[in-house]
Structure 1
Amino acid sequence: MTLRALVYGDVDLNLVDGAAVWAQSMTRALAAAGCEVTLVLKAPVTTDRMLEPFLETPGVTLRRPYEEQLLADVGPRGLTPEQAVTLLTRLDADSAFDLVVVRGRRLSVLAAHESQLEGRLWTYLADIPQRVTDLVSTAVSELTDIAVASRFLLCPTGHMRDFLESNVPAACGKSVLFPPVTAVPAGVAAPGAPGRPLRLVYAGRFAPRWNTLELTELPEALSERSIPAELHVIGDRMQRESPDWDRRVTKALQETPGVTWHGGQSRAAALRLASDCHVGLAWRSPELAAGLELPVTVPEFGALGLPVVLNHTPMHEELLGADYPLFAGDDTESVVDALTLATDPRVYTWAAQRCAQAAEAFTLERAAERLRGYLGLAFPPAPVGTSAQRPLKVAIAGHDFTFFAGIIEHLSALPGVEVRLDEWESLHSHDQYRSRELASWADVVICEWCGPNALFYARYKRRGQRLLVRLHRFELYAEWPRKLDIEQVDAIICASPRYAELTRERAEWPASKVVVVPNWVDVDQLDRPKLAGASHTLGMLGITPSRKRVDRALDVLEELRRHDQRYTLAIKSKQPWEHWWVWNRPEERAYYERTYRRIQRSQTLTDSVVFDPFGPDTAVWLRRVGFVLSTSDDESFHRAPAEGAASGGVPVVLSWPGAEAIYAPHWLHDTPAEMAAAIHAIVSEGRFDSARRVAQEEIRASYDLRRVRSLWTELIVNATVPEGGAPEQTGTATR
């Protein structure tokens, strides 16, 4: 089945700027990914220079609201966000699109409030607050609404994604990357060496923060250093600031010696003009450069083979390397210094190669590949054994779906499977009428947690229905397994072999009923570049209850700091007093009081332990962590070290019982001293990068979300289990 995408951006395609390039790139990338794409234009067409690529792109349909008279009372400057959402919902009602891609903050807020589009929005985020000080409560509320209604939040850079997830919890898990896309015409390439005169090129909008006036001063400034130079300017997007500024910049572009203004051009024509130059310019004001977007011209110039002069920011350094020679500071003089360096053929070649290498990640082919991955997540194929005419009815019951959310999302997207949730208010509190209704409706019931929910559904299980119960460590030592009628259960699912064996022994259940499906780790979401200093940062995710043994992590840190004072420990966790069931126990309270007192009184620890608040932004937090510790007395699985490995870090695991069945032996250690020795050896011997690559590959092979989803799908649809043999059947699911 070919997926159908509806695309609209609050973008005037008559003007050439980054937003117009986005609309062009998004549409072409979706088409290349296999979608039929309908692009709705915002404004009446006055020039077709940005529309040319669509005429030669199969599978793309343009809708022109003005020319087709799709709406009444539209103004000459284009559709308002309200009009656009009205039109999008109308077109969707007529054609039932699979996904609706939108860009523009006001437009996105309105679309998020349209129930018809909920869950199918793919929202591209660019014009949002990009500083914490600008994230007022209204902005956070709007972004939360957008995140809740969207299937994906498309972010232009990893820095934008990190910023969003750090400040809008609802964005975590939904934020994915869609970087700028390059589309260099075949056979077009830059000269490959600096020339005389040195030809500079700028393409983009004209505005004070884009340093338009300052750029026109460069030919004269270079001539004062005996470097003849020309500036070629491409574009016609004037950001109206004030009449005086508009006049000054227009005069500078038209009359400054050495400056040639080529006006607005098609994207292909602009790239051909740029390819005849020597150096690209993407230098902006400090405020704009510190933003979270990457100018599309940076990878475009790089793809042509042009070196680029741009601001020295963490994002640009991450893209081009800390040693990139053509970074500029905040003043024009620093730009002239960089351009002077570029006249050296060796520096020029080095910088051009670095930019070309970086541009390889921004091609149309890479964008289409990225989108195919997202489409595969949002629209998985129908499992063998299901029917769209008679879907398999699956009810999922529990009081906390934190550890099962990724599976629920996948099951809900499967064709031929209908999912309904029975969300209990607490372990014991639920809507009995709702639960009874689902017990009568479902072909398959999944109880997340082996608690009162499992007892309830076992009691009301009907003939021909299958009941699956996922058991965690928490329930194994409680009363509910002993009360559960195991004859009514088709499979008990544990996360690790050891806990499967303990479950069989303690509950005295048939061995074939207890099977293992491991916990999942979303490697794709967690895999992000590490920050500087990560190799000397230890991390713990969750330190309650006391059996997590944070005191052992402090032992590891103290040992490491005897070798190197740069080692620190970051702890992301709720505090023990935030869990009433922990803080009300005297022995637990005494343990934490003793441990925290130790941190306060130790000269080694007091400045090297950092506590971070609990929250869903784990992927962002893990960017600064190189080693994730597991120092527990006991665990059923302990996903934290696996998440650390998925993020590009190294798991360091104390050999608690059963750990050997989950983690490879080279990550297991018998004492905190051995853990410290292993960490320091990896760092001091320069093996950090190689060790973390190995760890990530191991986790991807065993626990990646895609693999675990497939295991659950087979278990639910076809009663196929990965370990322990087929569960005893009390009936065959009907649908």
Structure 2
Amino acid sequence: MTRTIKALVYGDVDLNLIDGSAVWAQSTVQALSLAGCETRLVLKSPVQTGRLTDPLAGLPGVTVVRPNEERLVSGQQGRPLSPVQASQLLARLDEDEPCDLLVLRGRRLVTRVVADGTFDGRIWAYLTDIPQSASEMTEEAREELARIAAVCAQLLCQTEELRCFLETWVPDACGRCVLSPPAVPEPGFPVPERGDTMHDPVRLVYTGKFAPRWNTLPMTRLPELLAGQGIRAELHTVGDKIHDDPAHPDFRSDMAQALRGGAPGVRHHGGQPREEAMRIAAGCDLGLGWRDPVLDASLELSTKVLEFGALGLPVVLNRTPAHEALLGSDYPLYVPGRATFDDAAEAVARAVREPGARRLAADRCRAVAGRYTLRGAAARWRSHLDLAFPSAPAVVAARSRPLRVGVAGHDLKFLTRLLDHFRALPGLDVRLDTWPALARHDPAASRELADWADVVVVEWCGPAAVWYSRHKRPGSRLVVRLHRFELDAEWPRQVDIDAVDRVVCVSPHYRRRAVACTGWPQSKVTVIPNWVDTHQLDRPKAPGAPFRLGMIGIAPSRKRLDLGLDVLEKLRARDRRWQLSVKSKPPWEYWWIWNKPEERAHYDAVLRRMQTLPLLEGAVVFDEFGPDVPGWLRRIGHVLSTSDDESFHLSPAEGMASGAVPALLPWPGADEIYDRRWIHDSSEAMAESIASLVEDEAGGAGPWREAGAVAREQAREGFALERVAEAWTALLVGSAAGL
């Protein structure tokens, strides 16, 4: 960032009570400050304690807004703000001092702010209180989340699993979801060295809220139960938020009684500042993160593991898929799934009796916590903000008025993220002329855009390019992008090339073809590759990915699904673990394909082959077409490109950005876009190369992973959205050679 970004932060949380949501507000402001933002934190509730807000007072660029004390909301009278009051107050604060982004937490709050409409396009919503399973995702909830996603700039997701789940159910969320995991500050005090000895009695520790599903009441019985096994122990607790749960009417009183001394061996320290809570925990031997099994399917990350890990504490916690992904399946201090209270006590006893298990657990927790530091969170924020708020080129910044950019065409799907970038650039004013069909438009609207714009970009060299080349305003510039299908039609030869300043092709091969077919001057035809959102696509691979092939788009027949099946068949002859996933619309949904008898015959043969050939039985999965490609690619280890012809073929590039290994047949021009190491002379050679990457490698590690890392770096260097956007920006502002 070269300019100061201004952020408003509000959470539907009470910062007087220490729990994960309140700590989120504190750490978010700390990370934004480290990232260089001017940040205003608006409090929901009157200040009763400064445990969480006092540490923010001296941070650079941070202001804490206290609505109750500053009498900003009429009628608040010492009560927490309602979502309606909060939305109205945030709008007034923005009117007085506009913000660049509004960071919100809480589904009810976000829904209210979205409905009010003041912050459309500026909301960065952190959502955890949303459905996290298919059974919970009602149509009403999905529609609500779709409304939120449609107007938010970003959706902040705590984990990769939550991000993929949201993208699967809410298509509008795709491309807007970014990771924002919990952040743990580095201890501001010396952490005690932990040898093989423990305190006597052994000190267990729990910090945070007290709630039935967090098993905090059963935890208070652990010292007594362990005493029966000959282990002297005491439980140290920190926190002051006790849930009042209607489903457990006696919980609040029973919990309070246990903390007051009703349970032997419990040492309650009450509510404490985060630093002091960490200091207390650092003086203990073993952290407790054991919860009710109903939370095992949660898509959220346990902050307790990270906080205790930062202190070198081993943690007893449930065995869940999320925890196994975090700490490994062989982590020694898991409580079994659907565990009883005795199972939890046994896990604690093992930690006490087996120094090796305790040491391994502490090392794992410490290593995991090192990936979630406050400085790491600040770096993530800085990266997100740099992409969302790009700097204006010098030539634009020097202009007396914004550069007017018009974009026209019937199908702008390949420009979506470029348009987002153009709109975010200071000094650019962007307007669209969206044609409802290839050759149908509103001439008056198109004329208005042509007369207004300093530069017009026409997507596809079709009828829109012909029209704008004949109605160009003197002194303006015209840029046309040509893909593939246009060269087989008459439109390129109908374009007034003298009125066109630049024709953009996506590959060198199609640049040569365009020049040869049209006779256009070579100096007017340039190459800018398709863009790939490498940040969105770079996600951890799921188990089994090394043995899964992927194809994106199988229509028309020249995409050659049949050759993909050849590769799969040869691989499964060696190892039945190989699978093929196809993400595509079926060919019969394209009328212009399905009307051709030869196309129907091709797919009839392919589908019969999958149904009748024993080697292919059950090995091909068709996944729904949609924008959730980044999540889908987590399962894919190799992306195939078996086409007869392509202008660019985006799917191998997307696969590379995800860490998958591309495998291409030598369609014309492929070797000018992709490294020759990924291109194979035949399906047999392709299968042999793919197999060699995973042979004798447990789980597909080694050569496959190394090849994926090379491919990922090549995608960043060649196709990254920010690099392609820079090239396009140069065309728009006229700084490219010859313009």
Structure 2 length-normalised TM: 0.96
Correspondent of 1:112 among 111, 114, 135: 114
Could you report, residue by residue, the CA deviation over 1:689-723 in whole angstroms, capped at 9, with x for unpaired residues?
11111111111111111111111111211341xxx
Correspondent of 1:546 among 539, 557, 564: 557
Correspondent of 1:250 among 253, 256, 281: 256
| CA distance, structure 1, for counterparts of residue 493 and residue 283 of structure 2 | 78
Q: Name the aligned partner's letter for residue 341 of structure 1.
A: R
> Does the CA-based 8 Å contact 2:571-2:578 persist in structure 1?
yes
Is the alpha carbon distance of 1:509 and 1:77 closer, same or farther for their aligned partners in structure 2, counting shifts above 3 Å? same
Structure 1 residue 58: Cα displacement: 2.1
Aligned residue in 2 for 1:230: 234
Aligned residue in 2 for 1:302: 309
| CA distance, structure 2, for counterparts of residue 479 and residue 135 of structure 1 | 49
| CA distance, structure 2, for counterparts of residue 412 and residue 715 of structure 1 | 15
SS in 1 for 2:616: coil
> Does the CA-based 8 Å contact 2:187-2:311 persist in structure 1?
no
| CA distance, structure 1, for counterparts of residue 438 and residue 221 of structure 2 | 70
Could you report, residue by residue, the CA deviation over 1:512-552 in whole angstroms, capped at 9, with x for unpaired residues?
11110011111110111111100110000110111000000
SS in 2 for 1:305: coil
Question: Is 1:653 aligned to 2:664, yes or no?
Answer: yes
Structure 1 residue 114: Cα displacement: 2.7
| CA distance, structure 2, for counterparts of residue 434 and residue 103 of structure 1 | 41
Give the number of equivalent residue pairs.
723
Q: Name the aligned partner's letter for residue 96 of structure 2.
A: D
Question: Is 1:340 aligned to 2:349, yes or no?
Answer: yes
Correspondent of 1:634 among 626, 638, 645: 645
Aligned residue in 1 for 2:244: 240
| CA distance, structure 2, for counterparts of residue 289 and residue 237 of structure 1 | 22
> Does the CA-based 8 Å contact 1:447-1:470 persist in structure 2?
yes
More deviation in 108-117 or 704-713? Answer: 108-117
Question: Is 1:351 aligned to 2:361, yes or no?
Answer: yes
Structure 1 residue 191: Cα displacement: 4.3
Aligned residue in 1 for 2:388: 378
Correspondent of 1:64 among 55, 63, 66: 66
More deviation in 282-291 or 419-428? Answer: 282-291
Could you report, residue by residue, the CA deviation over 1:591-643 in whole angstroms, capped at 9, with x for unpaired residues?
11111111111121121000001000001111111011000001111110111
Structure 1 residue 197: Cα displacement: 2.3
| CA distance, structure 2, for counterparts of residue 628 and residue 366 of structure 1 | 31
Correspondent of 1:422 among 417, 425, 433: 433
Could you report, residue by residue, the CA deviation over 1:302-357 in whole angstroms, capped at 9, with x for unpaired residues?
11111111112222112112222122223223322322332322222221111111
| CA distance, structure 2, for counterparts of residue 50 and residue 347 of structure 1 | 35
Structure 1 residue 250: Cα displacement: 2.1
Q: Name the aligned partner's letter for residue 55 of structure 1.
A: A
Structure 1 residue 205: Cα displacement: 1.2
| CA distance, structure 1, for counterparts of residue 581 and residue 97 of structure 2 | 51
Aligned residue in 2 for 1:278: 285
1:126-165 alignment, distance < 5 Å: 126-165=128-167
Structure 1 residue 190: Cα displacement: 4.3
Aligned residue in 2 for 1:664: 675
| CA distance, structure 1, for counterparts of residue 322 and residue 441 of structure 2 | 48
Correspondent of 2:469 among 447, 454, 458: 458
Q: Name the aligned partner's letter for residue 492 of structure 2.
A: P
| CA distance, structure 2, for counterparts of residue 147 and residue 598 of structure 1 | 41
1:548-563 alignment, distance < 5 Å: 548-563=559-574
Aligned residue in 1 for 2:612: 601
Question: Is 1:483 aligned to 2:491, yes or no?
Answer: no
> Does the CA-based 8 Å contact 1:190-1:278 persist in structure 2?
no
Structure 1 residue 248: Cα displacement: 2.0
Structure 1 residue 87: Cα displacement: 0.3
Structure 1 residue 230: Cα displacement: 1.4
Structure 1 segments unaligned to the other structure (5+ residues): 721-725, 730-735
| CA distance, structure 1, for counterparts of residue 594 and residue 470 of structure 2 | 35
Structure 1 residue 18: Cα displacement: 0.4
Question: Is 1:100 aligned to 2:73, yes or no?
Answer: no
SS in 2 for 1:113: helix
| CA distance, structure 1, for counterparts of residue 608 and residue 490 of structure 2 | 36
| CA distance, structure 2, for counterparts of residue 541 and residue 40 of structure 1 | 45
| CA distance, structure 1, for counterparts of residue 592 and residue 223 of structure 2 | 71
Structure 1 residue 13: Cα displacement: 0.5
Structure 1 residue 75: Cα displacement: 5.5
| CA distance, structure 2, for counterparts of residue 66 and residue 77 of structure 1 | 8
| CA distance, structure 2, for counterparts of residue 312 and residue 127 of structure 1 | 22
Aligned residue in 2 for 1:732: none
| CA distance, structure 2, for counterparts of residue 392 and residue 47 of structure 1 | 51
Correspondent of 1:192 among 186, 191, 194: 194
Q: Name the aligned partner's letter for residue 712 of structure 2.
A: Q
Aligned residue in 2 for 1:512: 523
Aligned residue in 1 for 2:48: 46
| CA distance, structure 2, for counterparts of residue 283 and residue 432 of structure 1 | 66
> Does the CA-based 8 Å contact 2:639-2:651 persist in structure 1?
yes
Structure 1 residue 678: Cα displacement: 0.6
> Does the CA-based 8 Å contact 1:450-1:469 persist in structure 2?
yes
> Does the CA-based 8 Å contact 1:188-1:275 persist in structure 2?
no
Could you report, residue by residue, the CA deviation over 1:552-582 in whole angstroms, capped at 9, with x for unpaired residues?
0000000000100000000000000111111
SS in 2 for 1:176: strand
| CA distance, structure 1, for counterparts of residue 434 and residue 323 of structure 2 | 45
SS in 2 for 1:65: coil
Q: Name the aligned partner's letter for residue 686 of structure 2.
A: M
Correspondent of 1:699 among 711, 715, 733: 715
| CA distance, structure 2, for counterparts of residue 312 and residue 578 of structure 1 | 44
SS in 1 for 2:436: coil
SS in 1 for 2:414: coil
Q: Name the aligned partner's letter for residue 327 of structure 2.
A: L
Could you report, residue by residue, the CA deviation over 1:280-301 in whole angstroms, capped at 9, with x for unpaired residues?
1111112223111112221111
Correspondent of 1:690 among 706, 710, 719: 706
SS in 2 for 1:395: strand
Q: Name the aligned partner's letter for residue 716 of structure 1.
A: L
Aligned residue in 1 for 2:700: none
Structure 2 segments unaligned to the other structure (5+ residues): 698-702
More deviation in 187-196 or 147-156? Answer: 187-196
Aligned residue in 2 for 1:121: 123
SS in 2 for 1:461: coil
Aligned residue in 2 for 1:215: 219
Structure 1 residue 417: Cα displacement: 1.1
Aligned residue in 2 for 1:202: 206
SS in 1 for 2:634: helix
Could you report, residue by residue, the CA deviation over 1:192-227 in whole angstroms, capped at 9, with x for unpaired residues?
245132211111111111111221222223223222
More deviation in 691-700 or 438-447? Answer: 691-700
SS in 1 for 2:154: strand
Structure 1 residue 76: Cα displacement: 4.1
Could you report, residue by residue, the CA deviation over 1:444-493 in whole angstroms, capped at 9, with x for unpaired residues?
00001111111111111011111101111121212211211111111111
> Does the CA-based 8 Å contact 1:652-1:675 persist in structure 2?
yes
Aligned residue in 2 for 1:718: 734
Aligned residue in 2 for 1:12: 14
